[in-house]
Amino acid sequence: MTQERTTPKPSPTDRKDTSECRNVAVLGGGSFGTAMTKVLAENGHCVRFWMRDEAQARDVRDKGVNDRYMPDVKLEGNIDPTTDLAAAIRGAEAVFVAIPSKAFRSVIREHAEDFEADQAVVSLTKGIERDGFRLMSEILQEEIPRCRTGVLSGPNLAGEIVNRDLTATVIAAKDPDVRRTVQCLLGCEYFRVYANVDVYGVELAGALKNIYAIVAGMAAAMDLGENAKSMLITRSLAEMSRFAVSLGANPMTFMGLAGIGDLIVTCTSSRSRNFRIGYAVGKGRALDEAAAEIGQVAEGVHTLLLVKEKADDVGVYMPLVRGLYDILYGNASISAVINGLMMAVQNSDVEFILPRTVAQ
């Protein structure tokens, strides 16, 4: 017999004690910046919410709504929208950065002098920088080495977090104090924060899964079936961990929320922008057209190029990356790529048990 679950959703009145109002900053006025601002403000913190557009900041201040990215979400609590980045981060105990990877370094560099020594600066961005294949935490270390850095990543669809749907994430940082601070600032009835020390693995997992979400979107558009869905997710996990381990990540990280957790949600949800791009292309739309229609960042399209290049460089076998690259940037047909993948030499399942025996 199935029992119906009647646990109510946490409401804003279930907030933490506001006597513990701590100063924090969120950089980036898009979907994820908005979602994290909302969690922090509901937890009773004083949030300076930086965005580059003055009209948008005024609008958020006046209406309590980020119309462009989250039109149906009311932002309540102690939130100060601003376009003054130096003022936003002044005295902040933690700074959360949700700027797309393409603009991440330039924003941080322009304001490098404004960050304070030992300030905790946490990247929320799931992407890779083209030059030198840098992850965002590496950019933070290069640009603001006197700060303590971390990365937040996991199965975290912004559209669900703002509904207070139950969610878990991972804070990865070398400094235990940064891990504890972030757990304490963000954790609440609907948002649970786990800790990890494998910063590189957590961050790379978040960037890589966007590629496979595009593949999964295509498979959904083509109605390939449930077995295929499972095969794709599992082989994606094998491929992304093979790549990450070759670059120094801990394979066990991929068993956690930032690995398999994020891969599952992004490969199965039509809320994912990367999944939606794949779906549109699978239905015959051009890549540019699909991206423009979504109107928000889908990091996987750009990450695919960098990972394909890097995999070729370091000699890691990534048939799904290669297949997607051939579809999006070559002129390969989806069915030809699927056929090539299915007819490739048959290999071992879990490479850590039975090593891969066949070369690509």
Ligand X SMILES: NC(=O)C1=CN([C@@H]2O[C@H](COP(=O)(O)OP(=O)(O)OC[C@H]3O[C@@H](n4cnc5c(N)ncnc54)[C@H](OP(=O)(O)O)[C@@H]3O)[C@@H](O)[C@H]2O)C=CC1
Ligand Y SMILES: O=C(CO)COP(=O)(O)O
Burial 139-148 (b: 16+ CB within 10 A, else e): bbeebbeebb
Burial of 355 (0-12, 13-18, 19+ CB in 10 A): exposed
9 is catalytic: no
| Binding piece for ligand X, criterion CB under 6 A, among 9-17, 51-59, 191-199, 307-315 | 51-59
User: Which positions from 103 to 132 touch ligand Y by CB under 6 A, shown as an x/- string?
Assistant: -----------------------x------
Picking from 125, 111, 39, the residue whose alpha carbon sits closest to that of residue 79 is 39
Is residue 69 within 8 A of residue 53, CB to CB? The reply is: no
168 binding partner (options ligand Y, ligand X, none; Cβ < 5 to 8 Å by kind): none
Helix (H, G, I), strand (E, B) or coil at 202: helix
User: For ligand Y, which stretch binds (CB under 6 A), given 12-20, 93-101, 151-159, 307-315?
Assistant: 151-159
CA dist list (Å): 125 to 4, 74, 100, 204, 248: 37, 23, 6, 11, 20
Partner whose binding site includes residue 43, from ligand Y, ligand X, none (CB under 5 to 8 Å by kind): none
Is 34 one of the binding residues for ligand Y (CB under 6 A)? no
Q: Which stretch binds ligand Y (CB under 6 A): 112-120, 173-181, 258-266, 340-348?
A: 258-266
Answer for which of 249, 290, 299, 324 binds ligand X (CB under 6 A) is 299
- Residue 250 neighbours by CB under 8 Å, 6+ apart: 198, 201
Could you give the 3-state DSSP secondary structure of residue 183? helix
Tokens of 169: 């994430």
Q: Residue positions in the annotated binding site for sn-glycerol 3-phosphate?
A: 126, 154, 209, 262, 272-274
Residues in touch with ligand X (CB under 6 A):
28-33, 51-53, 68-69, 98-101, 103, 107, 124-127, 156-158, 296-297, 299
Residues in touch with ligand Y (CB under 6 A):
126, 155-157, 210, 213, 262, 265-266, 272-274, 298
